[in-house]
Amino acid sequence: MSLRKDKLIVVDLEATCWEGYTAPTGQRNEILEIGVCLLDLETFAISDKRSLLITPTESVISPFCTELTSITHKMVEAEGIPFADACAILEKDYDSRNRMWSSWGAFDRDLFHKQCKRRNVRYPFNHKHANLKRVYVDATGERVGLHRAMRAFDVEFDGQAHRGHDDAYNTAVLLSLILQEQGLNLLRRRGL
């Protein structure tokens, strides 16, 4: 099947983390939240914004992680789902195996690959990933973080930083503006 070019999947992950960013003995970084939305590549409308909270099995949510993300053990206990179920949702609801997907930087792609391999879960995406940090560099020549990039385009961040669904949405907003200004060739260079 050929790649669908109607919409781009924009993803942002939050992972378990610790002060100093070193996992305690016996724990490791794992996906705690998958934030996702769709960017229509014709109208540049953003839809299907969603947060999938993942129940951690290889680590615990540290106080530092809760302070950074606002995600608590109680939230995950009430709303969390297994990682494999979240991957299945991406495939079913976002057609992730047939659409290009993207994230701000390569961390999310790399963490997905590692966690799928460790857990023997089918990788929910195809091999077409757009590193939106690089797309931004292609568009502007500047290497900056998401918040600074948004300020450069006079866009206010909507929602809470370090929540996957809000970060994915804001990344899509920024990308929408860039693509409207410079065209889809920025993504075609990445394999669209």
Average pLDDT for 103-131? 96
pTM beyond 0.85: yes
Rounded to an integer, the average pLDDT of 176-188 is: 92
Residue owning tokens 């993504």: 187
Q: Could you read off the pLDDT of 2-46 as tens digits, one per residue?
A: 889 999 999 999 999 999 989 999 999 999 999 999 999 999 999
Q: Rounded distance, CA 124 to CA 141, Å? A: 32
Q: List the CATH number of the domain containing 41.
A: 3.30.420.10
Cβ neighbours, 10 Å, residue 8? 25
Give the residue, 186 or 101, on which the prediction is more confident.
101
Is the pLDDT confidence value at 192 over 80? no
Residue 190: pLDDT over 90:
no
Three-class secondary structure of residue 106 per DSSP: coil
The candidate with the shortest Cα–Cα distance to 67, out of 26, 18, 31, 122, is 18
User: 131-160: per-residue pLDDT in tens?
Assistant: 999 999 999 999 999 999 999 999 999 999
pLDDT of residue 1: 59
d(CA 103, CA 36): 10
Calculate what percentage of the chain has a pLDDT beyond 70. Answer: 99
| DSSP code string of 7-32 | EEEEEEEEE---GGG-PPTT----EE
- Supply the pLDDT for residue 2: 81
Q: What is the DSSP letter of 124?
A: S
* pLDDT for 61: 97
The 10s digit of each residue's pLDDT in 65-74 is 999 999 999 9
Residue 20 dihedral angles phi and psi, to the nearest 5°: 85, -5
Q: How confident is the model at residue 98 (pLDDT cuts 50, 70, 90)?
A: very high
Domain span at residue 73?
4-188
What is the reported pLDDT for 67?
A: 97
| H-helix or E-strand spanning residue 102 | strand 99-103
Helix ranges (H only) for the chain are 63-69, 73-79, 83-94, 107-119, 132-140, 146-152, 164-182, 185-188
Helix axes 132-140, 164-182, angle to 10 degrees: 30
Give the model's pLDDT for residue 21: 85
Q: How many domains are contained in the chain?
A: 1
